[in-house]
Amino acid sequence: MLKNHYCGLLSKKEVGKEVTLAGFVHSRRDHGKLIFLDLRDKEGLVQVVVNPEVSLTAHKIAESARPEFVLQVKGKVNKRPEKLVNPNLKTGEIEVEASAIHILSASKTLPFEVTDDGREVKEDLRLKYRYLDMRRERVLKILKKRAKAVDYIRAFLKKKGFLEIETPILTKSTPEGARDFLVPSRLNPGKFYALPQSPQQYKQLLMVGGVERYFQFPRCFRDEDLRADRLLEFTQLDIELSFCDQEDILNLAEELMIGLTEGVFRKEIQEIPFPRVPYQEAMEKYKSDKPDLRNDPKSDKMAFAWIYDFPMFEYHKEEKVWGPQHHPFTAIHTADLDLLKEGKDLARIRALQYDLVLNGNEVFGGSIRTTDPKILKRVFELLGYKGGDIEERFGHLLQSFEYGVPPHGGIAAGLDRLLMVLMAEKNIREMIPFPTTGKGTTAVMDAPSSVDEAQLKELHLKVLP
C-alpha cells in the first residue's frame, strides 16, 4: 500500500502513530539542519519535518525534492509546539516527522504556479495544462462540489421513484434550435448521425414505453457560438415524468433546488416558495425573461423565480420565418388551440413552458409535451415543414403516439451553468474538468485536428480547399 492516510485528514487523533502518506510537494523550506515539506493530496496539506538525526537518507532525498515532485513519506505524527501551530491550516496542530522518503516521480518546473487561485493566468494556457491547473485548491474544490451536487440530485430523484436511464449518443439530426454536430457513417455512405443536442425525443419515447419517471445526466452537443455561459459540449440534468401537470413539475424542481441550494451549497434563498411571474409581465416589468430579482444584487442570496406562459412561436426577422420559442414538442394552452388551427396571430399563442431563473440566469427549462399527433403536425406545418419532411424527421415519434401515450412533461438544466451560478463563478468553463476553450478547441488534446486521407476515403469524404 502506497499510503494509509490522507494528508489533509490527519489530526491530533493520529499523534504518536506511524503513517504512510503520498502526494505532491506543495512547497519546500530548507532551514539548514531541518527541511520542511508541505505534502499535498486531494484532501489538503500536512507539514512534513525532515531531520537528519532521524534519517540521514530521508534528509538527502528531501534536499533534492522540488515543488510538484510526487513523494511517498513514512513517519510519525507529532503535535506541533503551541507557538508553531498554524490556525490557517486544517492540519495546523500536527506535523509528520519523516523516517523514510521515496521519490515516486520527479517534476519539471510548471508553466505556472498552482499554489494560488490561478485567475491571473491566461485561460488558454491553463486549459492547455488543465491537468496541472486542477491541482490548485480552488479547482479541486469545484470538482468536489460538482460530484457532491450530482450525488444529491441522484439520491433525491431515486427516492422520488425516478429511474436513471441512458439514451443514445449517435442519433438522428432533427431541429433542436442549434446546429448539429454530424458524424459520417462508414457503413452507410453519404449518411450521417447527429450528436444529441438533448435527449428530447428519446425521453418522450420512454414515457410512451411506460417508464413514467426518468432522469439522466446526458452529454449534449451544440455547434453554436461560444459565450461565458455556453459550450459546445456540456452536461445536462434531464427529467421527464408521466401523468403530471405543470404544477407537479414545478413543485418537484423547486423541492430539489431548495435541498441542493441549502443542503449542499449552504446558500440562503431569498424567497420560498419561489415567486411565479408570467412571461408577459416579466418582459413589461423587468425587460427580460430571466430577471435578477435579488433585493441587493451584491448579496450572496439566491433569488429564484419561475417564468411561465411563454409564447409558443417567435419570429426570426433575418430569415423571415417563425420558429419555436422552446421546441416544437411543447404543449399549447387549450384556450389558444383555435389560433393554432387558424394559423393566425402566432405571437399570441401561449405554450405550457416554464423556466426557473436564478440571479438573472436561466438554470432550468421545461414544458408539458404535446401528445396529440394532429396538433403536433399542425405545429410542424406552421414552422414550414411539408408532409414528407415531417414524416422523415419526426415519423418515429408520431408513430409511437398512435399506440397510446400518457400525458407527460419534463424539465432540464444545464448542470454546468447551474453550478456556475450556485458557486458564483463567472465562466462556465471553470465548472468542467476538461472544457472546450473560448475558441472551440478541446483542452489538452488540441482538437479539432486533421485526419489522414485513408480515414476520409473510408468515410467517403473529401475536404474541399
CA distance 231 to 226: 6
Mean pLDDT of 91-104: 98
Considering Cα of 107, then 108, then 110, then 111, what sign does the dihedral take?
negative
With b for 16 or more beta-carbon neighbours within 10 A and e for fewer, the 191-213 pattern comes to: eebbbbbbbbbbbbbbbbeebbb
Question: Looking at residue 378, what is its pLDDT?
Answer: 92
Mean pLDDT of 402-414: 96
Question: Looking at residue 230, what is its pLDDT?
Answer: 77
Question: Looking at residue 67, what is its pLDDT?
Answer: 97
Question: Looking at residue 228, what is its pLDDT?
Answer: 67
Mean pLDDT of 372-380: 91
Angle between helices 387-400 and 200-208 (to 10 degrees): 40
Percentage of the chain with pLDDT > 90?
82
CA distance 408 to 403: 15
Mean pLDDT of 18-46: 96
CA distance 414 to 198: 10
The residue type of 177 is G
CA distance 303 to 292: 7
**DSSP state letter for 321:** E
CB atoms within 10 A of CB 337: 14
Give the chain's mean pLDDT.
Answer: 94
Residue 5 has pLDDT above 90, yes or no: yes
Match 451544440 to its residue by C-alpha cell: 222
CB atoms within 10 A of CB 35: 23
C-alpha cell at 160: 422520488
Give the tens place of pLDDT for each residue, 200-249: 999 999 999 999 999 999 999 999 887 767 789 999 999 999 999 999 99
Give the tens place of pLDDT for each residue, 423-433: 999 899 999 99
Question: Looking at residue 1, what is its pLDDT?
Answer: 84
* 55-60-62 Cα angle (round to 5): 95
Contacts of residue 452, Cβ cutoff 8 Å, sequence gap at least 6: none
Percentage of the chain with pLDDT > 70?
99
Question: Looking at residue 176, what is its pLDDT?
Answer: 58
Topology at the third CATH level for domain 131-444 = BirA Bifunctional Protein; domain 2 (3.30.930)
Q: pLDDT class for 175, splitting at 50, 70, 90?
A: low
Question: Looking at residue 392, what is its pLDDT?
Answer: 81
The residue type of 128 is K
Mean pLDDT of 251-258: 98
Mean pLDDT of 122-150: 96
Question: Looking at residue 227, what is its pLDDT?
Answer: 73
- 443-451 long-range contacts (CB < 8 A, ≥24 apart) are 443/127, 443/128, 443/130, 444/127, 444/128, 444/129, 444/130, 444/131
Q: pLDDT class for 333, splitting at 50, 70, 90?
A: very high
Question: Looking at residue 391, what is its pLDDT?
Answer: 82
Question: Looking at residue 231, what is its pLDDT?
Answer: 85
DSSP string of 132-157, one letter each residue: HHTTSHHHHHHHHHHHHHHHHHHHHH
Residue 194 has pLDDT above 70, yes or no: yes
Question: Looking at residue 316, what is its pLDDT?
Answer: 83
CA distance 368 to 327: 11
Question: Looking at residue 389, what is its pLDDT?
Answer: 80
Question: Looking at residue 254, what is its pLDDT?
Answer: 98
The class (CATH top level) of 7-105 is: mainly beta
Q: pLDDT class for 419, splitting at 50, 70, 90?
A: very high
- Classify the phi-psi angles of 320: left when phi > 0, otherwise alpha if psi is within -120 to 50, otherwise beta: left
Question: Looking at residue 177, what is its pLDDT?
Answer: 62
Contacts of residue 80, Cβ cutoff 8 Å, sequence gap at least 6: 47, 86, 92, 93, 94, 95
Domain ranges, ordered by start, for the chain: 7-105, 131-444
